[in-house]
Amino acid sequence: MSTTHRKLLLKAGLLATAVTVALSGTTSAGADSAPEVIRAVKPAILLVHGAFADASSWDGVATRLRQDGYQVTMAAVGLRGLTDDVAYVHGVLESQPRKTVVVGHSYGGAVISGAATGSTKAAALVYVAAFAPDAGETVQELDQRFGGPTGKITTARPYPLPTGMPGLPGGIPPVELTIDPASFRHYFAQDVPEQQAANMADGQRPLALAALLQPAGPPAWKSLPSWYLLTREDRIIPPSGQRQMAERMHARVVERWASHAVTVSQPGTTAEVVEAAARQIHP
């Protein structure tokens, strides 16, 4: 046998040994390796903004979540009425690629409560200084019950309905609300830098009165695990009201010294609560 032939046989033997070792390693670790693969796939995150804001209010939170390996969707909510907003977010939620943590700020809490009901993708809810109405309740009812200032600091103005649309359901007038820019930072974002808060005030998205007056449907927090980030310095939804809603939901509560605009002033804190919920579910 030639030297070349011996070398080829030796290489073949070494290759066969390596394959055997690799296969035996896979076989012995098979039961453990599969869960590792599953754990590596994290749930998706859907962020839903509230009234007088837009999806950019989640920018800092979304950046941190993406850095930690999460797929993030930031819904652009119309703020035209609770019924329409719930339907829209439900559609966005159902388009997610896997199980999803649904997060709502302020009025967005009322939206996710309805949008996640009956969803095949919703796995957990996170309320960030948010309203969480029960069936039949309205956001305005909760605002008044907890002593919120929305009725005192907003300005109303009519808006045109689409051509051919006779009116809104329930006879609700087509009126939208904005927070007086002079009051915005004091009530909404007192812990946000002055210039940034001024930009938020000037760029706020109006909220249709229908969003406050339309009653909520069956809430998803009665069937899904829920978390609540309670902001102790909130001047929009008083902390005592947030606590009542969180306790009614049996939510896991995290409390922080922050304004209503906690997603802007403390994006890291907000992201931590979202990730705490995400770690409890499988995608």
Q: Which residue has the tokens 């670790």?
A: 29
pLDDT of residue 24: 37
- Residues of the chain with pLDDT > 70: what percent? 85
Work out the average pLDDT over 168-190.
94
Is a pLDDT exceeding 70 seen at residue 150?
Answer: yes
Tell me, what amino acid is at 272?
E
| Largest separation between any pair of C-alpha atoms in the chain | 98
In the chain, beta strands by DSSP E? 44-48, 72-75, 100-105, 122-128, 154-158, 175-179, 207-208, 226-231, 252-256
Given pLDDT bands bounded at 50, 70 and 90, which one contains residue 86? Answer: very high
Q: Bigger pLDDT: 44 or 169?
A: 44
Closest CA relative to residue 262, chosen from 221, 225, 228, 220: 228
- List the beta bridge partners of residue 75: 48
Using a 10 angstrom Cβ sphere, with 0-12 exposed, 13-18 middle and 19 or more buried, the burial of residue 128 is: buried
What is the three-class DSSP state of 172? Answer: coil
Beta-carbon neighbour count of residue 26 at 10 Å?
10
Work out the average pLDDT over 183-190.
97
What is the three-class DSSP state of 141? Answer: helix
Given pLDDT bands bounded at 50, 70 and 90, which one contains residue 18? Answer: very low
pLDDT of residue 41: 86
In 106-249, beta strands by DSSP E? 122-128, 154-158, 175-179, 207-208, 226-231
Given pLDDT bands bounded at 50, 70 and 90, which one contains residue 218? Answer: very high
Is a pLDDT exceeding 70 seen at residue 19?
Answer: no
Q: Which residue has the tokens 């957990």?
A: 124
Beta-carbon neighbour count of residue 151 at 10 Å?
12
Question: For residues 117, 121, 123 and 126, what is the CA-based torsion angle, rounded to 10 degrees?
Answer: -70
Is a pLDDT exceeding 70 seen at residue 56?
Answer: yes
Given pLDDT bands bounded at 50, 70 and 90, which one contains residue 7? Answer: very low
Work out the average pLDDT over 198-224.
97
Work out the average pLDDT over 151-169.
89
Using a 10 angstrom Cβ sphere, with 0-12 exposed, 13-18 middle and 19 or more buried, the burial of residue 12 is: exposed
Work out the average pLDDT over 19-42.
43
Measured CA to CA, the distance from residue 132 to residue 114 in angstroms comes to: 10
Give the CA angle between residues 270, 111, 140 to the nearest 5°: 100
Report the chain's mean pLDDT, rounded to a whole number: 88
Closest CA relative to residue 229, chosen from 155, 149, 128, 154: 128
Backbone angles phi, psi at 226, to 5 degrees: -130, 145
Is a pLDDT exceeding 90 seen at residue 163?
Answer: no
Measured CA to CA, the distance from residue 122 to residue 89 in angstroms comes to: 11
CB-based contact 269:180 (threshold 8 Å):
no
Is a pLDDT exceeding 70 seen at residue 92?
Answer: yes
